Each structure stands twice: as C-alpha cells, then as structure tokens.
Amino acid sequence: MANQITDANLQEVLDNNLLVVMDFWAEWCGPCRMVAPIVDELAEEYSGKVFIGKVNVDDNNDAVEKYGIRNIPTILFIKNGEIVDKKVGAATKADLKAKIDAML
C-alpha cells in the first residue's frame, strides 16, 4: 500500500534519501482510480528502495501549489528534492516500472 503524503509530512518525505514517487489523485477522478492499484503494487515491490506515496489533491493544497499540479493523475519522480520525471494521465505498470528502474 502506498504511503499517504500530506502537506504536513511533505518535507519529511522529500528529506529521505530515496527516490520519491508521488501520485497526485482525487477520489472523484476515474483515471486516478485506475492507477491507484498499480501505485499500491509498486509501493510493495519497491519497499525500502523507493518511497512511493499518494497525495490527495482535495486535502493538500500546499503540495498541489508547490508542484503546480493542473491535471490528475500526475505522478512525479523526485530525486534529491528535484523533479526528474513526470507522468500526466493514466499509466501502465510497465511504464511506471521502467521509469523507476531507470532512476535506481
């Protein structure tokens, strides 16, 4: 299961030394519901190697504003505090795995 990222714990998440994968989503978003189980599976598969979490855009305005999120789902790949890649819209597990593996 993916970690919950909130405005309150965002800086703590960014301060860890792992690759951070953030899924910006909302409950009312159909494509977000399609991506959610994939993100949860990846969080289990990469546990301890990659920090994978979800940011609910309805509850975390600071994080949404910080990263300029305009469309969901948006998945950010952050390394050393910097965005190194981004995927907007629904994605396959293979696509996300390839991006993560390339950054490890």
Active site residues: 29, 32
The contacts of residue 82 (CB under 8 Å, 6+ apart) are none
Q: List the structure tokens of 103.
A: 């950054």
Query: Distance of CA 89 to CAs 12, 24, 30, 73, Å?
Result: 26, 10, 11, 5
The contacts of residue 89 (CB under 8 Å, 6+ apart) are 31, 71, 73
How many CB atoms lie under 10 A from the CB of residue 14? 16
